[in-house]
């Protein structure tokens, strides 16, 4: 696991965007794994900037979302499929039919989870998966005590998550879905490169536990310690509880530019 400590969240965007640029230059039809939430927005903005500057094209790429609410109507603005289109995929030249998310409107949700993992496999697997860490260490909707080897499946949202997300539903808890389909930690672990971002003091404990603590379902993102190519990019606040943060800084500063992440 490579840990990169930057000063501010905006310093992370070019580092992560460089990973996309390198990947797409080598493999224009790469398969991208996309997260929603606020953490990756700076990276998406930087990718859009590079696309608009003619430095990057996604025309042959494909993308898979991490998760989706169950039961929100197809035209609901808070569906993750709609969210990602607003903040990223609709702003670059990714073909709309090249972007997929778990089918939260499927009649058979278990079968939809299995079909989603199969679709990722058929696409050749995810080359670059971007992730945001939750304050309790969750990854996608794999909350504490989720299986470390789970596949895409139906999960029940915790009361805390529903409360946190009520802000996107007119602060009306009744409107917040109770269930979701989420890639499992096992699915996420099959990505060829996993890049997890964490910003702000409220992520500091989770970053400490997941990066330097024991691998445990108690802190789901700790499973990335077992990933053969995981990169964690955190700002100074999120890194504030890391014992080895100076070591991470020195190591990254001494890395040759051509190596990338
Ligand atoms: C997003 C997702 C979530 C978020 C996490 C952090 O698709 O599955 O795990 O990455 O909740 O959320 P933010 O980035 O809003 O702090």
pLDDT of residue 256: 85
The model's pLDDT over 210-259, given as tens digits with 9 standing for 90+, comes to: 999 999 999 999 999 999 999 999 999 999 999 999 999 999 998 888 78
247: its two tokens: 């070591």
The pick from 32, 34, 39 for probing ligand 1's pocket by mutation, whose C-beta has the most ligand atoms within 8 angstroms, reads 39
**Residue identifier of the C-alpha nearest atom 5 of ligand 1:** 134
The model's pLDDT over 55-84, given as tens digits with 9 standing for 90+, comes to: 999 999 999 999 999 999 999 999 999 999
pLDDT of residue 196: 98
Q: What is the DSSP letter of 34?
A: E
Strands 193-198 and 99-100: unpaired
How far apart (Å, rounded) are the C-alpha atoms in residues 44 and 81? 15
Torsion angle, CA of 236/242/248/249, rounded to 10 degrees? 30
State mean pLDDT over 186-196: 98
Residue 133 Cα to ligand 1 middle (Å) = 6
Index of the ligand 1 atom closest to the CA of residue 200 = 16
State mean pLDDT over 161-171: 92
Say if ligand 1 is within 6 A of residue 66 CB. Answer: yes
The model's pLDDT over 139-150, given as tens digits with 9 standing for 90+, comes to: 999 999 999 999
The model's pLDDT over 29-54, given as tens digits with 9 standing for 90+, comes to: 999 999 999 999 999 999 999 999 99
How far apart (Å, rounded) are the C-alpha atoms in residues 102 and 152? 8
pLDDT of residue 18: 97
- Sequence-separated (6 or more) residues with CB below 8 Å from residue 49: none
Percent of the chain clearing pLDDT 70 (strictly above): 100
Say if ligand 1 is within 6 A of residue 39 CB. Answer: yes
- What mean pLDDT value characterizes the chain? 96
């Amino acid at each position: 696991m490579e840990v990169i400590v930057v000063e501010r969240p905006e310093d992370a965007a070019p580092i992560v965007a460089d990973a996309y640029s390198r990947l797409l230059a080598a493999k224009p039809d790469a398969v991208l794994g996309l997260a929603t939430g606020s953490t990756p927005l700076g990276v998406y903005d930087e990718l859009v900037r590079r696309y608009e500057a003619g430095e990057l094209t996604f025309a042959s790429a494909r993308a898979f979302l991490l998760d989706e609410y169950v039961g929100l109507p197809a035209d609901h603005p808070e569906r993750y499929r709609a969210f990602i289109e607003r903040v990223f995929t609709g702003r670059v030249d990714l073909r709309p039919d090249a972007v997929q998310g778990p089918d939260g409107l499927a009649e058979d949700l278990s079968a939809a989870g299995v079909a989603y993992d199969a679709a990722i496999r058929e696409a050749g697997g995810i080359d670059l998966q971007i992730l945001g860490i939750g304050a309790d260490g969750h990854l996608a909707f794999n909350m504490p005590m989720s299986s470390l080897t789970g596949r895409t499946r139906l999960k029940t949202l915790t009361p805390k998550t529903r409360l946190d997300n009520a802000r996107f539903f007119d602060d009306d808890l009744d409107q917040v879905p109770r269930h979701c389909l989420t890639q499992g930690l096992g699915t996420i672990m099959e990505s060829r490169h996993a890049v997890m971002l964490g910003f702000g003091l409220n992520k500091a404990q989770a970053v400490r536990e997941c990066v330097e603590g024991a691998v445990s379902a108690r802190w789901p993102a700790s499973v990335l310690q077992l990933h053969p190519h995981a990169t964690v990019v955190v700002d100074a606040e999120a890194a504030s509880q890391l014992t080895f943060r100076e070591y991470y800084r020195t190591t990254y500063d001494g890395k040759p530019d051509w190596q990338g992440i």
